[in-house]
Structure 1
Amino acid sequence: MSAPGERPIYILMISMHGLIRSENLELGRDADTGGQITYVVELARALSKHPLVEKVDLLTRRIDDDSLPLDYSIPEEQLEHNARIIRLPCGPKRYLRKESLWPHLDQMVDQCLHFLRNQGGRLPDLLHTHYADAGYVGQQLSLLLGIPQVHTGHSLGHPKRERLLASGRKAATIERQFNFERRIAAEESVLEHASMIITSTQQEIDEQYSLYRHFDHQRFRVIPPGTNTTRFSPPGRRKISQELQESIDRFFSAPDKPLILTICRPEVRKNLKGLIAAFGESEELQQQANLLIIAGTRDDIRDLEESQQQVMQELLLDIDRYDLWGKVAIPKHVSQEDIPELYRLAARRRGVFVNAALTEPFGLTLIEAAASGLPFVAPDDGGPRDIVHNCRSGLLANTLDSSAIADALKEVLADKKRWRTWAKNGLAGIKRHYNWPAHVNTYMKQVRHVLRRDRKRWRRQLVITLDSGKSYMPLVNSALISDIDNTLLGDKRSLRQLVSWLKEHKGKFAFGIATGRPIDSAVAILKQWQVPIPEVLISSVGSEIHYGARLIPDTGWANHIRHKWRREALQEAMKDFPGLTLQAAENQREFKLSYIVDPGKMLPIEEINRRLRDQQLFAQLIYSHNEFLDLLPIRASKGHAIRYLAYKWGVPVRHFLVAGDSGNDHEMLVGDTLGVVVGNHSEELDKLRGMEQVYFAQGQYAAGILEGIAHYHFDEIKPIPVGER
């Protein structure tokens, strides 16, 4: 029951990659559809049953791909009566591996904001993100909406990159394949921002997260995941499917032998090559048992991803090399419904489960095996150490040494009495340590602490407080937002044409500016060029918002961005950096520190950022025109300001046409906005070429804006009824 005065909470979970659905999970179909998918779906189900949880939404990417089931294109799917999977468009419709998602994540931020707006104003109390890609999306939402973020990394870029480099792979090659630079930067940022980091084991904290600059022991909580004991259970009186058993036994010349079972994706890290070597080089092990390898599903090995093809081809070649035909089974198609049956089959035949991975952050298959009454052999690394300690149902082995794997397997199979003891120990250990109700109770205890601790800091109410006489924003369906210098202003003839167009369409949409200038300077230059005062003015590089000719300040925005902003301390710290000269007083604001840059002397932005954060100073550093550096609060930017306006006033982000010319316009040009880069833009924006919804105009200054209006048919956007926004 809920404690008196405690309102049940709304949890928004985000898991971006892989294939997620409520039933028949296609685990092992590819490298991105594995243990994380099981975890997030089971966690969402389990949380929804807790009395202090009102509802759970699991947000993921909508996929419309002819090669995949239609399930992944359904916008909404029910998990439990108060838990849903929500699928939102993000990037191309086709399936993408996680390393290719990074350019599209800003669009997911916008899609999430739109989704939340359409929920009728009920914001989540908590964001829980999974893996670095969702961590990035969740951090942006957390900053924009003031909602605490909890994060689970599942696997981390730093240790993975180190392992690949240690194996002899070239740095440039692995960067092209895995996008580690962007991933690790996102992980660092999430580590700095998140209110709590959840791990499955202490090893993740001590040996993996400790590699990061923003590592802070105080924010980590070890909460081992549960396992679904209604699915994974020991052999009972019910017979195992004869059809399934025959589909496996057809591979074996002596099918009644004990069964060595492994279940993993065909990845190098899973070390199937080492397992085959262990089995193939031990005549004694071949006499004792058969080997069953479940390595995902396939129709044709040649249709798999290149890395998976290589693993499977080497596997078959090694089976032939050791002449293991009749002793090894590698079935092509095994459904997720069959997996619990295979654990039970191995347990009934007094076999053993083996996880031969080179490294193992947790080891979900080990607790599934233990819950099925099946002893296991696992890497002497990471999560398995905790699982062996808690369950006492298996052995650890040096999986870098195939003979050590073989010795451990033989030891498990050799003693029937000890095998039965381990089987019983595993069942008891799972019941005590790895059940979902225990996981969720611990989770909710920690979450309630986070929410109580952060309530004042995260207090937010994005409520419309301005009456319609002060701004057109409550009445419009779309908005045109332009930078001032070198975008809106610069050519008088095209500017007159644009102003005429604005007057002709007045009232249909809001006209706004987003500039690095302070508000007084912005108003003065607009008057000088005879531009009407806009309905909304985003000034000082997104750190201030004002409305209409009366320049009504948006105090909600000011309160929102005040988080972690220590202006005086930042200004003092910046004195130590070469190549920076403080701009004139009129260019400084409460939420903006501005410098003139000598590019030849200035330290790299990343180095300045690192040194500031080492002093617990937090700011966004925006470098533009190779001449200016602005420091803003971490929640302030032109892009964040536009998304705040979209949420506050119920105008879809995709109905914002934004125009810019330089680096400080970058963030507002990406995502779901209709971006226009004018023809006289600086080279900083060239990297946006080819991105969806970023149009590079030929026309310069205001002519480029008019060209963008025509390109997007902006004046044809149809109104959305207020009730449907």
Structure 2
Amino acid sequence: MSNSPGLYIILVSVHGLIRGENLELGRDADTGGQTKYVVELANTLAKNPQVERVDLVTRLVSDPKVSPDYAQPVEKLSEKAQIIRLNCGPRRYLRKEVLWPYLDTMADELLRHIRKVGKIPNVIHTHYADAGYVGSRVAGWLGTPLVHTGHSLGRIKQQRLLEQGTKQHIIEEHFHISRRIDAEEITLGGAALVIASTSQEVEEQYSVYDRYQPERMVVIPPGVTLEKFYPAGDDWQNPPIQKELEPFLKDIHKPMITAISRPAIRKNVSSLIKAYGEDPELRNLANLVLVLGKRDDIMTMESGPRQVFMEILQLIDRYDLYGHVAYPKHHASNDIPDLYRLTAKNQGVFINPALTEPFGLTLIEATACGVPIIATADGGPRDILAACENGLLIDPLNIQDIQNALRTTLKDRQQWQSWSDQGLINVRKYFSWQSHVEKYLDRIRLFKQQKIQSLLSPLPVPPAVDHPDWKVQDTNRLPTADRFLVCEIDNTLLGDKEALEKLIERIRNEGQTTGVGIATGRSLESTLSMLEEWRFPMPDLLITSAGSEIYYGPQIVTDTGWKKHIGHHWQGEAIRQVMKNIPGVELQPPESQRKFKISYFVDESKAPKFREIIRHLRRHQLPVKGVYSHNMYLDLVPIRASKGDAIRYVAWKWGLPVQRFLVAGASGNDETMLSGSTLAVVVGNYSQEIEKLRGHSQVYFAEGHYAWGILEALDHYDFFGNLSQKQLELAKV
């Protein structure tokens, strides 16, 4: 499969309850239009002959309160599409606002999945801010183009809530809005393409972001599944949902004013009820049908939906609307298209009075069933009404405006029929999933032709990275490599130009399945400068600052999971204070210091022995690891950090056995990576402090200096050949 020319597309949608059939739309604030969007996008992409595979990646949920469907690791949608569910935090169902601490795990699990597939995706397409955070990191690691669809935006949500009088600390406490906005800014900065549903979304909503780049944005409206949403035929029978409505209504045959949404404040259902309740003519003309998700006991719902339902019940009671308003507790997913058809059959109207509406998928669904629509003059509805010409826009805060639009639609039968007919024609022309995917794939083809990558580059990278003579890989080989060569820079990889050129040539000619990494005590900036100076191709992996930092090429993206792992109980300032008065020990210049590495010069004629220095730190209850090399350099790093630990972390994270890593070093600060189960080589110009490793079965002491020694090791281990057989032979020694 890895050699197939077909597109491999990963869609990421972290939150909500996602499955292929019977979507629980409206169950809660997280299971709405986005879940339907991503499933239908996956299905339609898979039908296109240009696409080889589509993985819709979401969170695995194993919770007795929800269906066991969401605990299945893999759900097949079609021959080429499947839902992949990955572990992300607690196994129980969680609302999206509390998922932020677990998203790094989701990124790691997505990498693991990609490695299992054995093919780097052509595109990672993320949906909403949480997926954007995950996808930005993974796309950056891989050098894969990142496509993003926001669905709704944190800055806009914050602005609306503040306008409604909600205090900033309440918004922060409940929605973790700062983390969401930060994730959106990172995603916008790294995305090669942002897909918006409307021009207003691009021009007004995204424009308030610091990383707003309209040249990377395109408007591609979502589609409607025409196989499900279509007009009722002449022989169409009353559907099951009608029986759910009958107990509420005195006259079931009156036209319907239908509204379908989640029970959220911004959906503005209360204004619709007020408009209906305060207008006797409307009550005489039509019933009001409100489908607001599913519920059992209002009092057990979350505070937001509970507040919405309490207000609805109070308004129904205030205006004495019993017998005129239906608000069923349950419905199946198949009931929704039937509800539209029922609305059209009795010449009713569909209304979306939301305060804000990024798109309005229900509007095009209703249109595809022949129902005229009334919608808020915000966002998507403006584009939909302009294209379909099948209804009216309203000011959602103007009760009279809502009443006038409803009366016009319900009383003018000729206009009603004209809007119904125009909607049926135009929705197929502008809003089918097939047309959406065709425009989508046109953009993806540009990625392949132009080799567009994720633009994420969160670190200041030296200008040398863009040097035309320096080879920078298009993508990272970690997901597809079956072995890895990791070298120290100083006195190992670099030092002999001829040997280095021969090593580069052999890797290029024989190492097609080999990943390449650097492990060094140098800082990232110093490492990149040295690699550029010697024209060594950009590595897939950079372990720098004595193993305290991990980065992935070609975009030089940091591994934040490693930073969190080693930062446990790190007390940098306390360490500096304890070290201050030790004789013969002097801090190195500021450019040698890092967040998780404190570096010193050691004068052995004056300083205590290395072990005494470490004991001194331990007596002060400071968990720290010391790396001493060349009889003069001391690096203090977190207890969990070292080159060896970093290599093992990378091996675990990317699913590659550590026995398939060949590591090359020359000094004491390389000991942790040379020891253990890795294949190791000590080059001929090594420091005496590493002599103690001689005799270890998987440590080869080469005669050649610098890269000549690495070339020897490639032959000694048959590293580009039958590596597994060589490991068996070594195990017998």
TM-score normalised to structure 2 length: 0.67
Residues 1:447 and 2:453 are matched in the alignment: no
CA distance in 2 between partners of 1:518 and 1:438 (Å):
46
Q: 1:468 to 1:149 in 2, by over 3 A?
A: closer
The within-5 A match list for 1:245-264 is 245-264=242-261
Q: Who is 1:159 aligned against?
A: 156
Q: Who is 1:273 aligned against?
A: 270
Q: Who is 2:403 aligned against?
A: 406
Q: Who is 1:296 aligned against?
A: 293
Q: Who is 1:459 aligned against?
A: 475
Does the CA contact (< 8 Å) of 2:13 and 2:57 recur in 1?
yes
The within-5 A match list for 1:227-238 is 227-238=224-235
Q: 1:403 to 1:260 in 2, by over 3 A?
A: same
Does the CA contact (< 8 Å) of 1:128 and 1:152 recur in 2?
yes
AA of the residue aligned to 1:364 = L
The within-5 A match list for 1:413-424 is 413-424=410-421
CA distance in 1 between partners of 2:402 and 2:300 (Å):
31
CA distance in 2 between partners of 1:540 and 1:469 (Å):
15
Q: Who is 2:139 aligned against?
A: 142
Q: Who is 2:543 aligned against?
A: 538
CA distance in 1 between partners of 2:452 and 2:395 (Å):
47
Q: 1:465 to 1:334 in 2, by over 3 A?
A: closer
AA of the residue aligned to 1:459 = T
Pairing partner for 2:556 from 561, 565, 583: 561
Does the CA contact (< 8 Å) of 2:276 and 2:283 recur in 1?
yes
How far did residue 201 of structure 1 move? 0.3
Q: Who is 1:21 aligned against?
A: 19
Does the CA contact (< 8 Å) of 1:200 and 1:383 recur in 2?
yes
AA of the residue aligned to 1:403 = Q
Q: Who is 1:428 aligned against?
A: 425
Does the CA contact (< 8 Å) of 1:240 and 1:341 recur in 2?
no
Post-superposition Cα deviations, 1:365-391, rounded to whole Å, max 9, x if no partner, equal: 000010000001100111101000000
Q: 1:638 to 1:225 in 2, by over 3 A?
A: farther
Q: Who is 1:103 aligned against?
A: 101
AA of the residue aligned to 2:336 = I
Q: Who is 2:92 aligned against?
A: 94
Q: 1:464 to 1:282 in 2, by over 3 A?
A: closer
RMSD of Structure 2 on Structure 1 (CA):
3.4
Q: Who is 2:576 aligned against?
A: none
Q: 1:134 to 1:643 in 2, by over 3 A?
A: farther
Q: How many residues get paired?
A: 525
SS in 2 for 1:91: coil
AA of the residue aligned to 2:91 = K
CA distance in 2 between partners of 1:86 and 1:454 (Å):
27
SS in 1 for 2:437: helix
AA of the residue aligned to 2:231 = P
AA of the residue aligned to 2:396 = T
How far did residue 6 of structure 1 move? 9.3
Residues 1:587 and 2:592 are matched in the alignment: yes
Q: Who is 1:493 aligned against?
A: none
Does the CA contact (< 8 Å) of 1:514 and 1:638 recur in 2?
no
TM-score normalised to structure 1 length: 0.68
Does the CA contact (< 8 Å) of 2:486 and 2:519 recur in 1?
no
Q: Who is 1:35 aligned against?
A: 33
Pairing partner for 1:650 from 656, 659, 677: 656
How far did residue 252 of structure 1 move? 1.1
Q: Who is 1:391 aligned against?
A: 388
The within-5 A match list for 1:268-667 is 268-454=265-451, 458-462=474-478, 464=481, 538-540=543-545, 559=554, 561=556, 584=589, 587=592, 644-646=650-652, 650-651=656-657
CA distance in 1 between partners of 2:236 and 2:158 (Å):
46
AA of the residue aligned to 1:650 = L
Does the CA contact (< 8 Å) of 1:29 and 1:297 recur in 2?
yes
AA of the residue aligned to 2:126 = T
Q: 1:282 to 1:640 in 2, by over 3 A?
A: farther
CA distance in 2 between partners of 1:544 and 1:68 (Å):
40
Does the CA contact (< 8 Å) of 1:464 and 1:648 recur in 2?
no
Q: Who is 1:115 aligned against?
A: 113
AA of the residue aligned to 1:81 = E
Pairing partner for 2:42 from 24, 41, 44: 44
Unaligned stretches of 5+ in structure 2?
454-472, 489-517, 528-540, 559-586, 601-642, 659-726, 728-733
CA distance in 2 between partners of 1:191 and 1:641 (Å):
31
Residues 1:210 and 2:211 are matched in the alignment: no
Does the CA contact (< 8 Å) of 1:544 and 1:557 recur in 2?
no
Q: Who is 1:130 aligned against?
A: 127
Unaligned stretches of 5+ in structure 1?
472-511, 522-535, 546-555, 564-581, 597-636, 653-721
How far did residue 640 of structure 1 move? 9.7
AA of the residue aligned to 2:212 = F
Q: Percent identity?
A: 46
Does the CA contact (< 8 Å) of 1:11 and 1:57 recur in 2?
yes
Q: 1:411 to 1:562 in 2, by over 3 A?
A: closer
CA distance in 1 between partners of 2:646 and 2:417 (Å):
59
Q: 1:78 to 1:251 in 2, by over 3 A?
A: same
How far did residue 562 of structure 1 move? 9.1
CA distance in 2 between partners of 1:173 and 1:469 (Å):
49
AA of the residue aligned to 2:319 = Y
How far did residue 557 of structure 1 move? 5.4
Post-superposition Cα deviations, 1:636-681, rounded to whole Å, max 9, x if no partner, equal: x9999876544666149xxxxxxxxxxxxxxxxxxxxxxxxxxxxx
Q: 1:186 to 1:420 in 2, by over 3 A?
A: same
Does the CA contact (< 8 Å) of 1:460 and 1:560 recur in 2?
no
CA distance in 1 between partners of 2:649 and 2:235 (Å):
56
Does the CA contact (< 8 Å) of 1:370 and 1:430 recur in 2?
yes
Post-superposition Cα deviations, 1:353-376, rounded to whole Å, max 9, x if no partner, equal: 000101111110000010000001
How far did residue 304 of structure 1 move? 1.2
